[in-house]
A and B are shown apart, each in its own frame.
Chain A
């Protein structure tokens, strides 16, 4: 800067201005995203036609040609083209007729109020727990994680307080799907966290146990696990010891999913810079406190997408228990479809699976949206 000549000095700062008009509005968006070049315009038009065609056909099947009611009571005949003389889409009266079976399975009709109470209680407690604005989170958590399972079990199983006993073989339908997946989700996360932490332990015994556990369970198909739980496990038990088939299946699912969960959580742990635990140590926090207060909250936040992924997979995997004779939602649909004497119409099966698919989709999509909302909420704008 020894030169005495100055080339340029700004005398006035430039005020902020709005962007040019061509960058704003629907027209600009269409131009930028759909019709930027002739080739893109063509591709967009083809895309619009294909999407329109698909939507039209879906509407045809599920709405315009569908059977929504049957004046003569709910009969399979109402869904046969030969009977009603037109093309038949979805047979919704089939769902109407069998909805109790899809929700309660073989649960005695007189006792289904118990299932309703259980589901309602669960829904209320879950909402209270998941909505951050609601106070008393600790009380809620104890109610949901400790008290509720006991209450739910008493309600469902009965045998006390004058409630007639209902063996687990009669449980079924959507309510059973929810029981299995909720138990799976609630138990596999803490187990997975413990396994992930154990895998990073400096104690060789704990470390090798966790690695062994994870690698064993992850390498086996879930169906094999369920078969083992259902068929092989009883053979190893001493005479007279009989553990409930459903319980065995649930434990199998929990252990299986916890292995996956462990690896997801480990991914979150590895995303943390070493400086975090060093700073915690430097402040005098011991290993346990540093893990609980510094490491896990951050690692779990990083791992939310993976954790939710596993939750959703678990929710859908519950349908595999049908293979060992448990009537969760999909299995009840399949069983109802097989009733060809009453419901032998061409579209009943498809309607049943559409229904099951829609129910699964609603639950999984809700989980997904909630997790995305949670991620946004927990985002503290930190990247380092």
Chain B
């Protein structure tokens, strides 16, 4: 971990550690379909994410972006096709599901911190109860991560006493405490006040700089431009277009993508 943490927006991004593996597949989704009841919510999804890749998933609301990343740690079940995460295929076998979840961190739109626990307890809960880490060691690690997201002084407060931006940074730190190999972000800044978006994005950027494999559902197109290797555009449960950011924004191919970009980029 080199110290590149002078987090400011508009800064140039340190790409020294952001190499994408050519051979190591982090997530492989093959011909995947999912239904909610009769509703065909995800159709024919094929997506391969290499180790170290940073993917941004964009698209209109209801297009299935969130459902797709929730399938990756099986908060949602898929009914057809394959999802292989870190070499483990997700099936109804709970052991495999647990195995995958231990290695995949997730950050939610509404933070989903545990309100009855302090910030520190939020961070140490999973290491202690899932990994069996001794309490003292878990707390030490937790403090390191709180310092990384720049709120070590809030460790003993309850989530309800923090601002939205602080809560989301705690949520990120909580995921990191499990040392995940992959991070999923489900609209992490959508529920935040405008002034707080930056502090969360800064943390995400610094994660990217350390080479974390990331999949982000987000409407932050600036973040997509700066950080992503690939932008995946979805509509009606399908992947419509996939491109590296430069091409995606300057030269969209599909009509729906052009329409979407014209709506959000003023």
Point out residues on A near B: beta carbons under 8 Å. Answer: 273, 275-276, 278-286, 289, 293-294, 297-298, 301, 378, 380-384
Contact = CB atoms under 8 A, between A and B. Distances in A.
A384 B130 contact: no
Given A278-B112, A289-B129, A298-B115, A381 B101 contact: no
A301 B178 CA distance: 28
Contacts of A273: 110, 112
Interface string B80-107: 0000000000000010001001101110
Nearest to A282: B106
A283 B125 contact: yes
Which 9 pairs between the two chains have the least Cβ-Cβ distance? Answer: A382-B115, A382-B160, A279-B112, A381-B160, A275-B112, A283-B126, A380-B158, A282-B106, A284-B101
B126 A284 contact: yes
Given A293-B125, A382-B160, A281 B101 contact: yes
B73 interface: yes
Contact of B115 (A280, A281, A380): A380
A283 B106 CA distance: 8
What band does the interface of chain B fall in when counting residues whose beta carbon is under 8 Å from A?
20 to 34
B159 interface: yes
Contacts, number: 76
B160 A283 contact: no
Contact of A279 (B94, B108, B161, B178): B108
A248 to B, nearest CB: 39
Given A282-B73, A284-B101, A286-B98, A384 B125 contact: no
A284 B161 contact: no
A281 B108 CA distance: 12
13 contacts: A275-B108, A275-B110, A276-B114, A279-B112, A282-B175, A283-B126, A285-B126, A285-B130, A289-B129, A294-B114, A301-B116, A380-B160, A381-B161
A283 B174 contact: yes
A383 B116 contact: no
B19 interface: no
Interface in B158-190: 158-161, 174-175, 178
Contact of A285 (B104, B129, B161, B175): B129
A286 B74 CA distance: 13
B98 A381 contact: no
Contacts of B174: 283
Contacts of B115: 298, 380, 382, 384
Given A278-B75, A281-B75, A380-B160, A297 B116 contact: yes
Most buried by A among B75, B110, B114, B161: B114
Nearest to B159: A382
Given A285-B125, A289-B130, A384-B111, 4 more contacts: A278-B108, A281-B73, A282-B106, A380-B159
B161 to A, nearest CB: 6
Contacts of B126: 283-285
Contacts of A298: 114-116
A280 B160 CA distance: 18
Give the residue among A284, A380, A381 with the most B Cβ atoms within 10 A: A284
Contact of B116 (A278, A280, A282, A380): A380
A279 B114 CA distance: 9
Given A283-B126, A284-B101, A382 B158 contact: yes
